[in-house]
Amino acid sequence: MREYVYDPVRKKRVALTPEEDVRQQLIRELSTNHGYPLHLMSCEYSLSINKLCYRGDLVVFNREGAPVMLVECKAPEVGISKDTFLQILRYNVALKVTYLLLTNGLDTFMAKIETKTGEYTFLTSIPEYNEISK
């Protein structure tokens, strides 16, 4: 029998896969500990790159509705690698956000992108929502 979990972002029950479990843990962390409003998050956000459709696992928006952070979640048994980082960089071609977050629930990497130059800096912690939404 399939297990389900309530997703407070989509406001419905979804199948509890290992990747979904990681996403739900991150949503709770962002909301509870860093002040990210649930209503300014979107799961499975559709992206179009060169007429191909992709989905960002989680996108966070500022109060004006512009995307500011893109999140890629992997199952715990999937390692975070250079290829994973390149995947989220490709997705960011469509969104042009300032913050990227990759996690498999065990390892989490957060980067800040300089949108004009494309250079990125890895951060040591997840910033508060008020910091990224400026």
pLDDT at 62: 96
Comparing 109 with 54, the larger pLDDT belongs to 109
Q: Is the pLDDT score of 134 beyond 90?
A: no
Tokens of 1: 């029998």
> What value does the CA radius of gyration of the chain take, rounded to a whole number of Å?
14
- Rounded to an integer, what distance in angstroms lies between the CA atom of residue 76 and that of residue 119? 28
Tell me the Ramachandran region of residue 112: left when phi exceeds 0, alpha when psi lies from -120 to 50, beta otherwise: beta
Least confident among 12-21, 74-83, 84-93: 84-93
Supply the DSSP symbol for 11.
Answer: T
Phi, psi of 107 (to 5 degrees): -120, 135
pLDDT interval class at 92 (50, 70, 90): confident
- Rounded to an integer, what distance in angstroms lies between the CA atom of residue 65 and that of residue 21? 26
Rounded mean pLDDT, 72-93: 90
How would you class 56 by CB atoms within 10 Å of its CB: exposed for 0-12, middle for 13-18, buried for 19 or more? buried
In contact, 118 and 130? CB cutoff 8 Å: no
Give me the chain's average pLDDT, please: 92
Digit-coded pLDDT (tens) for 5-53: 999 999 999 999 999 999 999 999 999 999 999 999 999 887 776 777 7
Nearest to 59 by CA among 51, 48, 49, 67: 67
CATH 3.40.720.10 fits 4-132, yes or no: no
pLDDT at 126: 97
